[in-house]
C-alpha cells in the first residue's frame, strides 16, 4: 500500500488549481526567465541577464536574436542610457 502525502491545510480540497497557481510565480525555463526580465517596465541589461541566468554575454544576445526575435516573433527594443549601458526590453 502506498502512503499519501499530506496537503497543507490552506491547500486542502483545492487540488491542481492550488498547485498551478503557486507554480506560476516563477518561469520554469531560462528562456521564459529571459522573456520575463525583458518584459519588465525598466527592461534589463546584458550584465543583469547574464548574472541571473548564469550565461555568457554572447549566449544572451544569441537567445534574444534567435529564440525570441526569430522563432517567437517578438520585437526587442534597446536604448542606451546616460551611463553608456544598453537596456533591452520587449516592445509592446
pLDDT in tens, 61-71: 999 999 999 99
pTM: 0.70
Question: Cβ-count burial of 70 within 10 angstroms (0-12 exposed, 13-18 middle, 19+ buried)?
Answer: exposed
Instruction: List, in order, residues 6 or more apart from 36 with CB less than 8 Å away.
Output: 27
Q: Decide if 56 contacts 50 (C-beta within 8 A).
A: yes
pLDDT, average across residues 42-55: 97
Amino acid at each position: 500500500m502506498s502512503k499519501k502525502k499530506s496537503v497543507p491545510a490552506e491547500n486542502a480540497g483545492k487540488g491542481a488549481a492550488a498547485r498551478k497557481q503557486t507554480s506560476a510565480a516563477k518561469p520554469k525555463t531560462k528562456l521564459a526567465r529571459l522573456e520575463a526580465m525583458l518584459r519588465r517596465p525598466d527592461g534589463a541589461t546584458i550584465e543583469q541577464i547574464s548574472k541571473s541566468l548564469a550565461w555568457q554575454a554572447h549566449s544572451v544576445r544569441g537567445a534574444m536574436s534567435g529564440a525570441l526575435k526569430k522563432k517567437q516573433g517578438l520585437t526587442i527594443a534597446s536604448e542606451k542610457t546616460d551611463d553608456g549601458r544598453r537596456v533591452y526590453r520587449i516592445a509592446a
